[in-house]
Amino acid sequence: MGTNRIESPGLHHVGIVVDNLDAAIERYRLLGFGEPEIVDKPDQAVRIASFHTGGGYLEIMTPTDPDSGVARFLASRGPGLHHVAYRVSDLAATLDRLAAEDVELIDRQPRVGIHDWKVAFVHPRSCNGVLTELVEIDE
């Protein structure tokens, strides 16, 4: 194999969209999850319950504005899987590489997600129908 090997991204978190955040939190507590961190992201019109899962996170989210992208997603697809997120070591370089390969990006530049993570989304059309988030974390 050549030296152009691309580092495999690790699974970072799974995002689930719900219409009733409190009920979903209680359901996941029954499954054994602890207390989530509740984060409001007004710029994305979403409220998130973030459960630490040991090696990653589970994000349960609900829209806070009926005209937001997450609200439209929930209205058209119903509650369930919203996105899968993968950890990358250099988000800006990853986005540049994907753009050069004509991958359809929602975000061409990193933005700030919860926990001050650098994040960017790849359109579902480029990932077999799954909204994909890329996450870079300064460690």
pLDDT of residue 55: 84
Asked, for residue 5, whether it belongs to a domain, the answer is: no
Q: Which residue has the higher pLDDT, 54 or 37?
A: 37
Task: Please give the tally of structural domains in the chain.
Answer: 1
Q: pLDDT tens digits, residue range 72-91?
A: 999 999 999 999 999 999 99
Mean pLDDT of the chain: 92
Question: Which CATH number belongs to the domain containing residue 61 in this structure?
Answer: 3.10.180.10
- Per the CB < 8 A criterion, the answer to whether 55 and 100 are in contact is no
Label residue 1 by pLDDT band (50, 70, 90).
very low
**CB hemisphere CA count around 16 (13 angstroms):** 17
Range of the domain at 106: 10-136
The amino acid that residue 102 corresponds to is D
Asked, for residue 23, whether it belongs to a domain, the answer is: yes
Asked, for residue 60, whether it belongs to a domain, the answer is: yes
Asked, for residue 2, whether it belongs to a domain, the answer is: no
